[in-house]
Amino acid sequence: MTVALANPLNRNLRVYPSTMSLLVDNWPTPLVRLGSESGEGREVWAKLEFYNAFSRSVKDRPVWNMFRRALEEGRLKGKVYEATSGNVGISLASLCNIHGLEFTAFLPSPTPPVTEKILRIMGARIVKTDYETISPEFWQWVAKLARREGALNLNQFENDANPEAHYETLALEILEQLESIGRKPDFVIAGIGTSGHIYAISRRMREIREVR
């Protein structure tokens, strides 16, 4: 089989002026039709959020938005504390590195060793806790500690900038990409963490049409 390559004079050569632009200028992330899951009267499309540069996950979006807001409001002074089990911490470690901030990741006890290693490689300070899950008790404890020690806690679980990022970027991208090929979504299927992305996607899409 012969694969036609894009015209080198027309394709995006993907040169970025800064590390931050590597994230935001790479949006929209790809939307791809899954042939093996599609059939007569049904098409399944996947949004490839692992194209996000920092954590290789959808979590780059809310972390970027929460961090950006804090930066604009002058709340980033030197230290950042966050309760995380993985991708939020990796994304936040990246942003703190870019801006020369000290980042401490507070992890629940079941966090995989590979996550700890990645965070340490990226310069994060690790605090392994006895909490089994990221519960309200856990993140409230981190928030209290941050206040006492003069650190910023973005608190992904109670920060409106979390779902806002998905509403303004991810959900809008999906709709625009589908519209460009004459498609409209009927169902959305997604994993759930803080629920920020599924809440924002459903809200945005229900403003356009009924989506389940």
Helix or strand run (H / E) with residue 126: strand 125-128
- CA distances for 39 relative to 2, 32, 190, angstroms: 25, 15, 20
Options 59, 77, 117, 144, the catalytic residue: 59
**Could you confirm whether 59 is annotated as catalytic?**
yes
Q: Which helix (H) or strand (E) holds 176?
A: helix 171-180
For the CA atoms of 9, 14, 16, 22, the dihedral, rounded to the nearest 10 degrees, stands at: 160
CA dihedral 76→72→162→101, nearest 10 degrees, is -30
Catalytic machinery residues: 59
